Every structure is written in C-alpha cells, then in structure tokens.
Structure 1
C-alpha cells in the first residue's frame, strides 16, 4: 500500500471520505495550479494516473505560456505525472462541503521531481547544507491586509470600516477582528500550520503572523504557501478580501515576508552563537546574503508592484546593510548568543514564492559560510559607510539575476534562464499598459 493511501485512509478515519481532493501544484509565481479529483478516486492519484503539462510550473502571472522559455506547445506541451507530497493531505475547513487538499509535484521523464519545481530548488540547497554536516533552522513572518470586498479586479483597495490609519500592536483592532482572526488560527491548527503570535501591524487592516522555527525549511515554505491560501479562503468566507500583495496602498506600509535563519551542526549546536559579540560564522553568513542580495532581488521582489517597497520612506529596508537588533537594516541580528542566535532577512515581500525566497536566503548564507566574503560595518558603527540602495526598477533587477553566476550555481542555468524569461515577458506586457494616472494628468492637458 502506498504511503498516500495510508494517509488517505487515516484522513477518512478522522474526517470521513471527502467529496473532492484539491491537487495543488506551486508554480514559479507561487500560484497554486492543479485539478479537482473526486474523493473516491484517491487510488488514481496514488498510482500516478493523474497528469498535467510540465509547463504548468512556469506560466507568467497572467497564466499564459511563455514560448521563449522553450516550454509548452512549442515542444508539444508534454505531460508530467502528478505525485502527492508526503504528509500534505489536509482538511479544508473554510470550504463549502467536505474538501481535502494535497500538495503535488510532477515527475519528469526520468522519474524524478521535475527540475522546474520551486519546492525542489529549496530541497536542493537544504541537501547542500546536509552534505556539509549542517542543518538550517528557519521561521517566517508574513504580513497581509484585510480589505473591503471589491466589485471588480481593477477597483482600488479600501480598508475595513472603522480601523485606525495606524493600528500598530493595537489590541482593540484584534478584538474587533476577532471572529475572522480566530477562525484563521483555528483553520491553521486544523491544517497543522505552526502559527505562533498574531499582531495588528501598522497599516489599516494589516496583520502579521509569526510561525514557529523548524529545522525543515521546505516545511516552513509549505507553511507560508498554505497559510496564504488559508487566509484568503477564511476572509472570503466572511465577506471580505485579503491580499499578500507587496504594496497595496501607496501611503501605507507594504507586506513583507521576514525570514529568521540559523544553522545547527551535527551535535545540534547553533554555529552562529558566540559568547561575546558576533561570531565569525554568523558574520560570514551575513556577508553572504549581503553580497548576493542585489542579484537575488528579482527573487525577493518578483513583481512590478514589489518595487514600490523599495522607494524612499516606504517602511521597508532599501539597502544591503545589517545591524544588531536594528529593524531599519536589511539583515537584522535579533540574538547573537545561545540557541536563538540567528539572522533576520527583511527584504522579501509577502508576494514572493516562499520556496525560491528561502532558497536565495539559505544559498546566500551558505555562500558566505564557504567563501568568507568581506562584511561591511554594521549600521551602529560610527565609521559605517552607507550602502548604495537596492534598485527600484524591475527590469534592472531581472537583468542582474539573468547575468548572475551565483543564480546559475544556486538554481541551475536552465532555471535561471526560464525564470528570467518569464519575468521579461511580464515586464513587456505589464509595463505597456497605460495607467489611469497618465490619462488623468496628461490626456487633457497635453
């Protein structure tokens, strides 16, 4: 009996047979794609009899194939065999009726997980740590906004009625949103998502959830991905809308995904810990993520809207710098001694693909540990020279990624090419659209 069938039978013993199984494949943009399978056809999935085109891993944000990638119909759009991700079968408590979901991957012609899988990219870098006798430990924090329901996709967002413009840590805001937030936490518990604290963030209708640390970075990325789906589903059930868009309001803070990361050795000891000051290993890891941050910005800021977070006074770090417990820094060191010694990477938006973002963070850390690059002075040092800001131009960021030797080494040359090609296609399509602002200020005056 396959492991999935064992899991399915255990699920049915707890919840009863589901009406349908939702098969969820994470694409390059972290959009979940897949199929609905009748609940009585679990055997079909277990036997590998369900298929999708391999190009499903790499459409653009519009959902279109990008011919220049060499995927899709230009090569006959071959299928991959869908396989369930072990341990990912979960109940969907916000759905109408009895629904179960399961994450899936696709196998290529060799029988292995397709190299197009973002999830596999993260597993690959975790395996590199293991080959060095190391075990990364990570936790993410996700910010999101709850909005009034919109009538059309083009309509601008509006915060819920009655929320303050600045609600940072406001317990009254949590009380007023208790029904929705309680259901989000309850659904997270049902799905086994390791949520920790929940706070009201600065922006109107903005919240942040922290997840518990885990020595399984792939599970941490799974959790971030599934939580985004969960929040949207629960909030929609309550007649509202939720978004993890990087910058939904021009004058309010954006949504980020902060990553806390440390590394354990074979004895389970934190290699970043020092009795005094910052350990050389932690300093090297910081140097690695700073040295690769510009080349990885296209991963941490994947979309056109993402770059609004990198404008001056945007409530987000905008330069590759670091500091001790300094929230204005791109890399913050909350603790440097004991089991909690770690770095906090604060650049990524909540709109990222969490697998690719964690791959870039951990890959940068490993690069630093292995190569020991020069590390600039921290922000607290009076002799510190301010770093040049990160770019706020989408195309320039993609250009840096497309030419990056580090990106080719971390993700593979072919994936670097495919990722860049998809982004260039999105840039060409989305930047051609004339905005309402241009019509408002130019059409009648010029």
Structure 2
C-alpha cells in the first residue's frame, strides 16, 4: 500500500493535509457507504487497518441487511479489509473545512481478493472480455437531474426553484438565473478531475443535463457518473437547494435518465463500427441487436427501484421499448453517427438512479452478445414499415423476475451476484409494497 501513501503525500503537498478522509464504497444501489478517517491516519488505511462488514456491498436502499442474500448477521457478518482505489483521492470542495475523499473496495474475507460483490469488479469483468478479444469500449455518459427548493419534511413533494418555466428546454435565461450553483457544480467537477462537457437546461422545471467527454477508460466513465451524483447533491446543499437523480420526481414532467454513448476500438485504435460501405456496418448492427435482445432481461439493472418504472408508463417522455433509430430520441437505442471515428450507439433506457457500473456492464454485455450471435435486427423507427416493439414492462416485480430467470444475466454477472441483486430488489419490493400511500388515504379512507 506504499503507492497510496505516495499518492496521499502528493495530495498533501498540493492541497495541504485534510482534516478528514472520507472512505467511499459503492454498494449495489450505487449508494456510497464507508467511514470518516482522520486526515493524519492515512497509514491505518494503507496498512489494511480499516474494515467494514462484507455485507455493506448489498444492503437494501434503506441501508438494512437482506437475509436472503446470505450476507450479514445470518453468517456472522464478517468484516472485509478496506483497500483504497488508486487514483481516486480527490478534494471535496463543497464540504466545510478541508475534506478529501477516496474510493475503496473490500477484500473478500474468504479469498483475500477484491470482492466479487463489488459493482466495479462486475464492470471490470465485462471490460476484460473485450480486452481478451483485442477490443476496448469507448464511452461517454449523460446524466439528468433536478434542482428543487429545500424541504423540512421528507414526505413533501419537490418544489421547483422560483421562476422556473414549466418547459425550460435549452433556455439560456434559466442557466443565467441558476449560474451560481451551476458554476459551483462545474468548478467542483474540475477540481475533482471529472471530464464534464456541455451543461444544458433540460425540459422539466429545474431540470438540467450534464454531458461528459468520451473516454477509453470505461471504469473512469462509470466512476465519473457515480461521483458526479454525490457532487451535485453536495453542492446543492451548500447553496441552500436540494438536487435529485430520482428517475421520476414529478408525474407530469420528464424523468431523469442516464444515457450512454458507446463505440468500440480494436488494437490499432480503429472504430470497429465504421466501414466504407453504405448504411450501417454489420458490427454496429450486431451490437445494436445484442443490446435490444437482452434489454428486457437487463431492465432491472437499468431501472432498479420502484420509482424507476414511472418512466416506462405511456406518455412518460422517455424511451420505453427495445427499438432503435437513427437521429431519433424516441428510440431506446439511437445511432447519432454511423460513419467515421464517432460511429456509435446511444443507449437511452437507463434511469439516472441506475448503478452506473452495472448499467454499463449490461450495455457492454449486450453488445458482446450481439457480436457473438448476430441476432435479427428489426427495422429502425425511422422506417415507415417499422413495427412498434412491445414496450418494456412497467411492473417492477416482472422486471426482477425476468432478470432472475435470464441465462444472459447469469453469464454476465455470475449466479451468485445475480441472486444477491435479485434478493435485494425483492426485499425492496416487499418493504415498499407494504407501505400505504398518501393517495390511497386521500382516495379511499373517507369514501369506502
């Protein structure tokens, strides 16, 4: 772990010694869990003296352990030793005082290796499958989020910022009015080395979208999406606002998506989706076909939570079917470019609540499946003879059951991770289904 001590010393030379170090482990829900460590106790981390229960990788969204995972107190809740992830030590510019953060993993108490329960490991496994073929994905994400007024009651609905138009799409005045907080977001991203590109006012009141630069470091792209969510919420709080990446915070306005633009290059750096002929290359067709043919089975990764499925209702402003098109934003998969080094697909199904490591793993796994099997590709939505694809399910439990039964998912994540993920989702379904909603009280209590 001397590498971390060297990285930490370089950080201190540049920024000064932090008051505390925040250790951040990504769980199955993309919630960051961990510990605070005094800024002068870096050797404890470097020497393996910091531990967490191994079950920290797989709680439900409420933070509770899920017995059906086979983790937690049912097996004695053993600890795993924490190790820092190289290159992830960054300042936290929105925090009070001098705070640094570092992403961490846990070693499996049985194997001594980084745990296969890590979402990052699951993505790394898929990227290795590309590398074994002499290929490397190139990827960029886009994330949508809402800013809203701070709430004193956690049960309260969000309220847009003052003077927010109901349709603020690309509205420059909205950007000007929100400049203080948006500049702080971009400045914090720059301090943390997150490769932001354009920022726009999206359609909904208080909604914005950030685009990130393409990178051939897929793990860095996923890290960036995860860290940006934490950053936006932190900066918003520091400016007296709240922010959310909840997929559908308003019933009548567009939801928040996580879009992924993906191409693939060979060992010579050539985009395998580019070709000299007319139309779409066979490799790009195969990749699109693979993503479409596995989309139903992977939907529980793209839409992990109850609120996720509001984006799959009719008139929800979001793509909701395994279909494709060219410059067509109604399609689940869009092809912005089919020629040259920018030839790529854009996957538009995931909600902004998706775990970016798992969602990207599913997209890349679907592309590999397509390259291997060349499934039939339906006509694009742009074709007048196209037949509309059956919509993805709007029922959470159906999506989880399809995930559980999928040979593709087992091959992608392994049976153990599939079962853990499904157990966490089923536990969340039961917990939330047992809650009686306000709308039920309002509608039924005094009338029936």
User: Fold-level match, TM-score > 0.5?
Assistant: yes
Corresponding position of 1:33: 33
Matches within 5 A, 1:9-408: 9-108=9-108, 109-275=110-276, 276-408=278-410
Cα offset, 1:111, TM superposition: 2.1
Which whole-Å CA distance do the structure 1 matches of 2:84 and 2:10 have between them? 15
Residue 418 of structure 2: aligned partner: 416
Cα displacement string for residues 407-444 of structure 1 (whole angstroms, at most 9, x for unaligned residues): 11000001001100110011011011111111111111
Distance 1:329 1:197 in 2: 22
Q: Secondary structure at the match of 1:367?
A: helix
After the TM superposition, which of the residue ranges 75-84 and 270-279 deviates more from structure 2?
Answer: 270-279
- 2: CA distance between counterparts of 1:344 and 1:202? 19
CA distance in 2: counterparts of 1:175 and 1:277, whole angstroms: 42
The offset of 1:382, in angstroms, is: 2.0
RMSD of the TM alignment (CA)?
A: 0.7
Q: State the shift of 1:68 in Å.
A: 1.0
SS at match of 1:74: helix
Secondary structure in 2 matching 1:296: helix
Which string of whole-angstrom CA distances, capped at 9 and with x for unpartnered residues, describes residues 171-209 of structure 1?
000000000000100000000000000000000000000
Structure 2 unmatched ranges of 5 or more: none
Whole-angstrom CA distance in 2 between matches of 1:339 and 1:2: 40
Q: What is the CA-CA distance between 1:339 and the residue it aligns to?
A: 0.5
Inter-partner Cα distance in structure 1 for 2:112 and 2:3:
17
How far apart in 1 are the matches of 2:203 and 2:36? 38
SS at match of 1:162: coil
TM-score normalised by structure 2 residue count: 0.99
Q: Deviations over 1:287-339 (max 9, x none)?
A: 00000000000000000000000011111001100001110000000000001
CA distance in 1, matches of 2:192, 2:274: 33
| Secondary structure, counterpart of 2:153 in structure 1 | coil
Cα distance in 2 for partners of 1:277, 1:86 equals 43
Counterparts of 2:29 and 2:415, CA distance in 1: 19
Per-residue CA deviation, residues 72-108 of structure 1 (Å, 9 max, x unaligned), is 0000101111000000000000000000000000011
Q: What are the Cα deviations for residues 383-419 of structure 1, in whole angstroms up to 9, with x where unaligned?
A: 2111111000000000000111111100000100110
**Aligned residue pairs: how many?**
446
TM-score, normalised to structure 1, is 0.99
CA deviation string 1:6-61 (max 9, x = no partner): 11000000110000000000000000000000000101111111100110000000
Aligned-residue offset at 1:110: 1.8
- Partners of 2:65 and 2:382 lie apart in 1 by 48
- How far apart, CA to CA, are the structure 1 residues paired with 2:3 and 2:329? 44
Runs of 4+ in structure 1 displaced over 6 angstroms? none
CA distance in 1: counterparts of 2:192 and 2:321, whole angstroms: 37
Mean Cα displacement is larger for which, 349-358 or 378-387?
Answer: 378-387
Give a deviation string over 1:89-136, Cα, whole Å, max 9, x none.
Answer: 000000000000000000113221101000100000000000000000
Aligned mate of 2:432, from 427, 430, 433 = 430
How far is 1:274 from its partner? 2.4
Secondary structure, aligned partner of 1:356: helix
